[in-house]
Structure 1
Amino acid sequence: MPDQKRGYGGVSGAAKDALIAGLREASRNRRQRPDLPAPALGKERVAKAYDFSQLEDYRQLRLHRAAADMLGIENPFFRSHDGLAAGTTSIAGRSFLNFASYNYLGLNGHPAVTAAAKAAIDRYGVSVSASRLVAGERPFHRELERALAGLHGVEDAVVMVSGHATNVSTIGTLMGPKDLVLMDALIHNSVAEGARMAGAARMTFPHNDWQAVADLLGRVRSQYRNVLIVVEGIYSMDGDHPDLARFVQVKSDFDAWLMVDEAHSLGVLGATGRGIAEHLDVDPRSVEMWMGTLSKTLSGCGGYIAGSSALVEYLKVKAPGFVYSVGLPAPVAAAAIASIEVLREEPQRVARLHQNGLRFLEKAHAAGLDTGHAMGYAVVPVIVGDSAQTAVLADRIYRRGLNALPIIYPAVPEKGARLRFFITSEHTDEHIDTAVRITAEELSEVQNQGSVLKQLVGR
Structure 2
Amino acid sequence: MVDHKRGFGGVSGSEKAALVAGLREATRNRKPKPVADLAANPPRTIKAYDFAKLDAYRELRMQRAAADMMGIANPFFRAHDGIARAETSIGGKPLLNFASYNYLGLNGHPRVVTAAKQAIDRYGTTVSASRLVAGERPIHRELEHALASLHGVEDAIVMVSGHATNVSTIGTLLGPKDLILYDSLIHNSIAEGARLSGAARLSFPHNDWRSVAATLEKVRHDYDRVLIAIEGLYSMDGDMPDLAKFIEVKAEHDAWLLVDEAHSLGVLGATGRGIAEHAGIDPASVEMWMGTLSKTLSGCGGYIAGSSALVEFLKVKAPGFVYSVGLAPALAAAAIASIEVMLAEPERVSRLRDNGLLFLDAARAAGLDVGLSEGYAVVPVIVGGSAQAAVLADSVFKRGLNALPIIYPAVPEKSARLRFFITSDHSEADVRRAVAITAEEFAKVRSTGSMLRQMMGH
Both structures adopt the same fold (TM-score exceeding 0.5): yes
Quickly say closer, same or farther: Cα 1:370–1:308, change in 2 above 3 A: same
What is the distance in 2 between the residues matched to 1:121 and 1:48? 43
Instruction: Quote the residue 1:98 is aligned against.
Output: 97
Instruction: Quote the residue 1:398 is aligned against.
Output: 397
Instruction: Quote the residue 1:180 is aligned against.
Output: 179
- Residues 14-64 of structure 1, C-alpha deviation per residue, up to 9 Å, x if partnerless? xxxxxxxxxxxxxxxxxxxxxxxxxxxxxxxx9887001111111110000
Query: How far did residue 449 of structure 1 move?
Result: 3.5
Query: How far did residue 450 of structure 1 move?
Result: 3.8
Higher-Rg structure is 2
**Structure 1 counterpart of 2:393, which letter?**
A
- Are the equivalent residues in 2 in contact too, given 1:267–1:273 (CA < 8 A)? yes
Query: How far did residue 457 of structure 1 move?
Result: 3.5
3-state secondary structure, aligned to 1:384: strand
Instruction: Quote the residue 1:42 is aligned against.
Output: none
What is the distance in 2 between the residues matched to 1:48 and 1:384? 45
- Are the equivalent residues in 2 in contact too, given 1:48–1:54 (CA < 8 A)? no
- Residues 67-121 of structure 1, C-alpha deviation per residue, up to 9 Å, x if partnerless? 0111000000000100000100000001000000000000001100000001111
What is the distance in 2 between the residues matched to 1:329 and 1:188? 25
Instruction: Quote the residue 1:300 is aligned against.
Output: 299
Query: How far did residue 438 of structure 1 move?
Result: 0.4
Quickly say closer, same or farther: Cα 1:90–1:135, change in 2 above 3 A: same
What is the distance in 2 between the residues matched to 1:285 and 1:416? 36
**Structure 2 counterpart of 1:357, which letter?**
G
What is the distance in 1 between the residues matched to 2:48 and 2:298? 42
**Structure 1 counterpart of 2:147, which letter?**
L
What is the distance in 2 between the residues matched to 1:389 and 1:198? 37
Query: How far did residue 385 of structure 1 move?
Result: 1.3
What is the distance in 2 between the residues matched to 1:106 and 1:441? 28
Instruction: Quote the residue 1:27 is aligned against.
Output: none
Quickly say closer, same or farther: Cα 1:398–1:136, change in 2 above 3 A: closer
What is the distance in 2 between the residues matched to 1:159 and 1:374? 30
How do residues 56-455 of structure 1 correspond to structure 2 at under 5 angstroms? Answer: 56-455=55-454
**Structure 2 counterpart of 1:94, which letter?**
K
Quickly say closer, same or farther: Cα 1:297–1:56, change in 2 above 3 A: same
3-state secondary structure, aligned to 1:455: helix
Quickly say closer, same or farther: Cα 1:393–1:224, change in 2 above 3 A: same
Query: How far did residue 270 of structure 1 move?
Result: 0.2
Provide the identity percentage: 73
Query: How far did residue 451 of structure 1 move?
Result: 3.9
What is the distance in 1 between the residues matched to 2:85 and 2:379? 17
- Are the equivalent residues in 2 in contact too, given 1:388–1:451 (CA < 8 A)? no
3-state secondary structure, aligned to 2:426: coil
Unmatched segments (≥5 aa) in structure 2: 1-44
Unmatched segments (≥5 aa) in structure 1: 1-45
Query: How far did residue 456 of structure 1 move?
Result: 1.7
What is the distance in 1 between the residues matched to 2:46 and 2:269? 57
**Structure 2 counterpart of 1:361, which letter?**
L
- Are the equivalent residues in 1 in contact too, given 2:127–2:135 (CA < 8 A)? no
Instruction: Quote the residue 1:26 is aligned against.
Output: none
**Structure 2 counterpart of 1:349, which letter?**
R
- Are the equivalent residues in 1 in contact too, given 2:66–2:456 (CA < 8 A)? no
- Are the equivalent residues in 2 in contact too, given 1:154–1:285 (CA < 8 A)? yes
3-state secondary structure, aligned to 1:105: coil
TM-score, normalised via structure 2 length: 0.89
What is the distance in 1 between the residues matched to 2:135 and 2:183? 38
What is the distance in 2 between the residues matched to 1:276 and 1:129? 35
Query: How far did residue 455 of structure 1 move?
Result: 1.5
Instruction: Quote the residue 1:16 is aligned against.
Output: none
The alignment of Structure 1 onto Structure 2 pairs a total of residues equal to 414
What is the distance in 2 between the residues matched to 1:455 and 1:347? 49
- Are the equivalent residues in 2 in contact too, given 1:213–1:250 (CA < 8 A)? yes
- Are the equivalent residues in 1 in contact too, given 2:397–2:403 (CA < 8 A)? yes
Query: How far did residue 386 of structure 1 move?
Result: 1.0
- Residues 229-275 of structure 1, C-alpha deviation per residue, up to 9 Å, x if partnerless? 00000000000000000000000000000000000000000000000
**Structure 2 counterpart of 1:62, which letter?**
R
- Residues 202-247 of structure 1, C-alpha deviation per residue, up to 9 Å, x if partnerless? 1000000000000000000000000000000000000000000000
What is the distance in 2 between the residues matched to 1:419 and 1:59? 26
Instruction: Quote the residue 2:21 is aligned against.
Output: none
Query: How far did residue 136 of structure 1 move?
Result: 4.4
What is the distance in 2 between the residues matched to 1:102 and 1:357? 13
Task: Give 4+ residue runs of structure 1 displaced > 6 Å after superposition.
Answer: 46-49
- Residues 282-304 of structure 1, C-alpha deviation per residue, up to 9 Å, x if partnerless? 11000000000000000000000
What is the distance in 2 between the residues matched to 1:48 and 1:238? 45
Instruction: Quote the residue 2:40 is aligned against.
Output: none
What is the distance in 1 between the residues matched to 2:325 and 2:292? 17
- Are the equivalent residues in 1 in contact too, given 2:128–2:135 (CA < 8 A)? no
Quickly say closer, same or farther: Cα 1:136–1:125, change in 2 above 3 A: closer
State the superposition RMSD in angstroms.
1.1
Instruction: Quote the residue 2:26 is aligned against.
Output: none
- Residues 122-181 of structure 1, C-alpha deviation per residue, up to 9 Å, x if partnerless? 111000000000114111000000000000000000000000000000000000000000
**Structure 2 counterpart of 1:239, which letter?**
G
